[in-house]
Structure 1
């Protein structure tokens, strides 16, 4: 549940509590009003009876009717209530019910049960009538249950009508206000989603609300710092890979110049000694031939190692020739099991040395993965220098598309390729073909040309 909905639900709960509390207060006040009116009626009748007694004793006239209920009609009593005078003797019992408003039940039955259970609509108010220290009787005012319940229901309807309309209007205003106040949160979340997707160039705007404004400033500062760190890491990665390539070049040259020359010398001396031994000492010719075979094997292994470290064609003849030689060597190794093909569009000599070396390494690593894991019959390498100064590299095969083969962490596989592409500021995507096989698509910017 989002924050906006949570706030709205809580406001709605508070509104319901306010409505229930207000309804209870209205019913309580209605009941108290009826009780006060009954007590006021009883007080007025008591006062009227005392006045009648006073006149009777002052005039010594005890022939008139006591109490005179005709005088009670002049008193405003509670509608539907009954007033009784209970004397000490049965001869003076009097009773008057206000029949000006008929008793009706224009309220729901459930409300009648509820109001009767929690309140006392049929309350009875008693007042003793004393005069000259003599108690003449008791006044009893009884309220009509149906009329009081109906009055409570009408008061509740009127109060709740106004209250519900007010709360609904207030909820709408609060909802609009909350929606406006939380709009910056949506913008912040959208910006963070773009940042998580890799778009660190985006910046959050300045908001009118101080809290959101401080939040946007903090996020922008954090993203700027992260962007600088990633740029520094990218430069450091390029420097590390370039340093590694320079080290490979140095080791390759040293092995070629020192170890390779030594092996060539051993092979030459062995051949010369074998020729001489045929006449003077034929029994050692076989051992010399064994030494020559071992030397030849070592030279073959050295050539493979030099190719892995730094192919001589890459420095001497360029990327295009090196790639063609690489494809030729893989076709020779596969012995017809896998056919490798190469397609080049554009002038490969336009590429900077750094980009050319990394392009060669990426193709080399992808072909190695195809040979180890794909079991493919055909593998294609397509390189296209696009007009928008970008290099497109697509390597695909028709073998088994096993993405787990690219999870190696030893510098080869997807991790090594991804690190190279990320350091060069490119994009890498993997896809599978309908008829099987994997498609590796890499787009590299040619900004390295200006740095060459």
Structure 2
């Protein structure tokens, strides 16, 4: 019995007996010449039959399981090998998402992955050209904006400023000649107060519009005047501090203009989105040849950086566009007791593509 096989489980024996039943016995005569001598009847032991069936089933199931495991391993290896290009394509798309338009996917032997790689590379080329065109147009837009600001500043100074000066002179003459008319003298003094207030507003507007001081005075002096102008105002109760480091005199005019405008907007946001008592403006050049210019504005006004990031105004949007056009980066985060805005602009920004440059020239 032990040579037939190990005992089968009860459940297998039950199933086997239910399907096949007991083996029939076999009867044969003891002698063909003398049938009357008797017969021999043999029958299979039911336990031995179940053991033998269980042994055969176990062998078959073991071979089938081994084949199934081998097929799964081979299929897994084939799938992993086939999906290697997919991981490379996904990594390329991630780099494309981060703005790396110089990366190109390699050619693949599989036709499907080859088509996908060519499509992604074509998309990368189109995005690179579109980005270069957008950067060039944004730079030109800011140049036109500065030209319009200077033209508007000249018109306001020449026309509106002269009119206010004449109004002050007329009001002074009326007040001087109305010694016997107290009502006229009071009206003339009211006109003088209104004209002076308008003159003060005009000077503030001209200070925001004008940028020719960058060419005449340079970036450092212009930033110093900007901070001094904020400290001279009586409305905000904040003290503005300026910290300059590095050689800012050799910064190109376009980048110097962007730094100045970004500083203007950041100082305005520091007062607009919080109630600071101290505002720090730090501008540093990281290296004299090449490198970058870093601008940091930090306040203790308790503002919320998340609110500034999602603000619907055009200030932060303009800052982002200026920095993007110069190939820089912008970070808005929380300071110790307020908001910290950090802008970095490289001095050697990448230029437009050759085809675009030829088209613009």
Q: Distance in 2 between matches of 1:211 and 1:445?
A: 41
Which residue matches 2:355?
none
Q: Distance in 1 between matches of 2:69 and 2:160?
A: 91
Which residue matches 2:191?
291
2:310 corresponds to 1:398: no
Q: Distance in 1 between matches of 2:206 and 2:24?
A: 111
Which residue matches 2:334?
432
Q: How many residues align?
A: 338
Q: Which has the larger radius of gyration?
A: 1
Q: Distance in 1 between matches of 2:245 and 2:299?
A: 19
Q: Secondary structure at 1:350's aligned position in 2? A: coil
Q: Distance in 1 between matches of 2:223 and 2:2?
A: 109
Q: Answer yes or no: is the 8 Å Cα contact 2:4–2:52 preserved in 1.
A: no
Two-structure CA RMSD over aligned residues (Å): 3.1
Q: Answer yes or no: is the 8 Å Cα contact 2:327–2:350 preserved in 1.
A: no
Offset of 1:161 from its aligned partner? 2.5
**Cα distance change, pair 158–178 in 1 and its aligned pair in 2 (3 A):** same
Which residue matches 1:329?
229
2:296 corresponds to 1:409: no
2:276 corresponds to 1:373: no
Q: Distance in 2 between matches of 1:353 and 1:360?
A: 10
Which residue matches 2:209?
309
Q: Distance in 2 between matches of 1:326 and 1:230?
A: 33
Query: In the alignment, which of 227, 243, 247 is matched to residue 128 of structure 2?
Result: 227
Q: Answer yes or no: is the 8 Å Cα contact 2:327–2:345 preserved in 1.
A: yes
| CA offset digits 1:311-351 (Å, max 9, x no partner) | 55345423222211111121122568211011112333322
Q: Answer yes or no: is the 8 Å Cα contact 1:352–1:448 preserved in 2.
A: no
**Structure 1, unpaired ranges of 5+:** 1-99, 127-138
Q: Distance in 1 between matches of 2:349 and 2:3?
A: 101
Q: Answer yes or no: is the 8 Å Cα contact 1:121–1:145 preserved in 2.
A: yes
**Cα distance change, pair 289–106 in 1 and its aligned pair in 2 (3 A):** closer
Q: Distance in 2 between matches of 1:382 and 1:374?
A: 19
Offset of 1:418 from its aligned partner? 1.6
Q: Answer yes or no: is the 8 Å Cα contact 2:6–2:55 preserved in 1.
A: no
Which residue matches 1:258?
159
Offset of 1:373 from its aligned partner? 1.9
Q: Answer yes or no: is the 8 Å Cα contact 2:241–2:279 preserved in 1.
A: yes
Query: In the alignment, which of 36, 57, 61 is matched to residue 160 of structure 1?
Result: 61
Q: Answer yes or no: is the 8 Å Cα contact 2:329–2:345 preserved in 1.
A: yes
Which residue matches 1:109?
10
Q: Distance in 2 between matches of 1:325 and 1:265?
A: 28
**Cα distance change, pair 312–193 in 1 and its aligned pair in 2 (3 A):** closer
Offset of 1:302 from its aligned partner? 1.0
Offset of 1:429 from its aligned partner? 1.0
**Cα distance change, pair 121–234 in 1 and its aligned pair in 2 (3 A):** farther
Q: Distance in 1 between matches of 2:152 and 2:26?
A: 115
**Relative contact order higher in (CA < 8 Å, ≥ 6 apart):** 2
Q: Distance in 2 between matches of 1:450 and 1:232?
A: 10
TM-score (norm 2): 0.83
